[in-house]
Amino acid sequence: MTTQAPASPPKADPAREHRPKPADGKPKRLPPYQVIILNDDEHTFPYVISLIQKVFHHDANHAVRLTANIHHRGRAVVWTGPKEHAEMKRDLVRGYGPDFYASAPVRYPLGVRIEPMPDA
């Protein structure tokens, strides 16, 4: 039976040791992100209302108000939260499918983007 030398402790990663820390010593929190739906002249109100209800889980009245804001103001913030969830919601909007409510089906996705919340 052979004896092995005890394993040496793992070496510290020099990049981690010299990483600057915030002045207060606390990690910096990521800002919340907002999902913004953009207006266009092709997608119909019923399509946008349905999308807002299914993807963002808003009730019918809120979905109608948001859709009206999108139509009249050109855009509306429909959801706010962590960046990863905002990215997922954006991708769900992009993949929601054609708008068959239109006289000729609209096959391209509704305009959507995510942005960090502005500083208050």
Residues whose CB is less than 8 angstroms from the CB of residue 56 and which lie 6 or more positions away in sequence, other chains included: 35, 63, 78, 79, 89
State the average pLDDT over residues 52-72. Answer: 98
> Are the CB atoms for 37 and 70 separated by under 8 Å?
yes
State the average pLDDT over residues 103-112. Answer: 95
Its CATH class, for the domain covering 41-116, is alpha beta
pLDDT value at 2 more than 50: no
Q: Identify the residue with better confidence: 31 or 84.
A: 84
For the chain, give the percent of residues with pLDDT over 70.
79
1, 37, 118 from 113: Cα distances, Å: 65, 7, 15
Q: Identify the residue with better confidence: 59 or 22.
A: 59
- Which pTM was predicted? 0.75
Which candidate, 38, 27, 119, 34, places its Cα nearest to that of 85? Answer: 34
Handedness of CA 50, 60, 33, 29 (dihedral sign): negative
Residue extents of the structural domains in the chain: 41-116
Give the separation between CA 76 and CA 37, rounded to whole angstroms: 6
Task: Quote the tokens at residue 43.
Answer: 């997608």
Per-residue pLDDT, 25: 72
Least trusted range by pLDDT, from 22-31, 72-81, 105-114: 22-31
pLDDT band at 27 (very low <50, low <70, confident <90, very high): confident
State the average pLDDT over residues 85-107. Answer: 96
